[in-house]
Structure 1
Amino acid sequence: MRKSLTLLAAAAVLSTAGIAQGADYAIDPTHTFATFEIGHFGASVNRARFDKKEGTISFDKAAKTGKADISIDITSVNSGTAAFDKHLQSPDIFNAAKFPKARFVSEKFVFNGDKVSEVVGQLTLLDKTMPVTLKANQFNCYESPMLKREVCGGDFEATIDRTAFGVNYGVDWGFPKSVRLVMQIEAVKQ
């Protein structure tokens, strides 16, 4: 009896050895973008993106778990207008000289079936950290025909209150406190 239990236990360990486990992914900077949108006097919407970003994702589809650590270089803000970029980097808004990086860290991925539906985490901006949930508009993993590796990614968005991070510029003039964040993220399996 003891021998059969030992054999059964050994068989169970060996049978789980082939089951897919989580993997690490590196952010693909050519397919990853962090952008923001904020209303401008109710007439239009100002938009800009950050051109430099890096990070890692740990993802286990079978266990439905994941982690993310994404850094954004605030000095790379790009609105398409040099004067506006300079103002965005100034102490009025992002204070890029003092706080050159923003960071999003998550230890909780929420799934709807096999797809990631939300990434719950903490955003650090201007040395203040607040909870932020990125909602997935779409998510997919695929075998890249060019890279010959798995790539996972999605289109995510969240709305934050910028004043919670100390970005108060223009509130007295009627600029909204709400800012829409849009994250297009693709990461390559390592």
Structure 2
Amino acid sequence: MSTTKWVLDPTHSEIGFKVKHMMFTNVSGKFDTFEATVETDGDDFTTSKIEFTADTASINTGNADRDNHLRSADFFDAAEFPKTTFKAGGFVKKSGDDYTLTGELTLHGVTRTVTLDAEFGGLLQDPWGNTKAAFSINGKVNRKDWGLNWNAALETGGLLVSEDVRFAIELQFVKQ
């Protein structure tokens, strides 16, 4: 079977995350600059090789002061670690359109294996004749596992920023 290359459609993709703030509300953010490629045998994503890169300096929570703090050495240290990467083998089918995706996430100079839940949206031909594939990917990691340890104690107890980071990722790929 021939190898198929899929390139990310960044205008229809988003790398989002949520983190609890003061232990009761979520702060949402995303990376504005990222890229991903996938290679499959034919159209079989269970055989895929996936490579993803995000520019850590492109973090965007909608608040300049918070974003600058996240880029600092307290968190991502974007000057020292300008890229976040994820490399994975194929999706593993659970049932229906539900899959898992396990790969190596490198963040802040640390590489760890993570497993994420993925929903395959299917293949579709757009109005211009391009074949597209869509995925919704969700999961949770503990930011301290990658050395992102900064926090502040609250006077009422608890911490300012949760250790858990939840991903909400929407990806659309174009068959080459």
TM-score (norm: length of structure 2):
0.88
Once the two structures are superposed, the pairs formed by residues 141-152 of structure 1 within 5 Å of their partners are 141-146=123-128, 148-152=129-133
User: Identity rate of aligned residues, in percent?
Assistant: 29
Gap change, CA 1:80 and 1:106, over 3 Å in 2: same
Higher relative contact order (CA 8 A, sep 6+): 2
Residue number in structure 2 paired with 1:129 = 111
Residue number in structure 2 paired with 1:188 = 174
Counterpart of 1:186, as a letter, is Q
**Distance of 1:169 and 1:142 partners within structure 2:** 43
Counterpart of 2:169, as a letter, is M
**Is the CA contact (8 Å cut-off) linking 2:97 and 2:119 kept in structure 1?**
no
**Is the CA contact (8 Å cut-off) linking 1:31 and 1:186 kept in structure 2?**
yes
Gap change, CA 1:160 and 1:121, over 3 Å in 2: same
Q: Give RMSD over aligned pairs.
A: 1.9
User: Is 2:146 aligned against 1:165?
Assistant: yes
Once the two structures are superposed, the pairs formed by residues 1-190 of structure 1 within 5 Å of their partners are 21-60=2-41, 61-62=43-44, 64-112=46-94, 115=97, 117-146=99-128, 148-170=129-151, 174=159, 175-190=161-176
Gap change, CA 1:144 and 1:123, over 3 Å in 2: same
**Is the CA contact (8 Å cut-off) linking 1:156 and 1:184 kept in structure 2?**
yes
**Is the CA contact (8 Å cut-off) linking 1:33 and 1:49 kept in structure 2?**
yes
**Distance of 2:131 and 2:53 partners within structure 1:** 22
Gap change, CA 1:84 and 1:23, over 3 Å in 2: same
1:64 partner SS: strand
TM-score (norm: length of structure 1):
0.82
1:176 shift after superposition: 2.1
Counterpart of 1:162, as a letter, is R
**Is the CA contact (8 Å cut-off) linking 2:138 and 2:168 kept in structure 1?**
yes
Counterpart of 2:163, as a letter, is K
Misfit runs of 4+, over 6 Å:
none
Which structure carries more strand by proportion?
A: 2
Compare 79-88 and 173-182 and name the one that shifted more: 173-182
Q: Which runs of 5+ in 2 are unaligned?
A: none
**Is the CA contact (8 Å cut-off) linking 1:116 and 1:139 kept in structure 2?**
no
**Structure with the greater alpha carbon radius of gyration:** 1
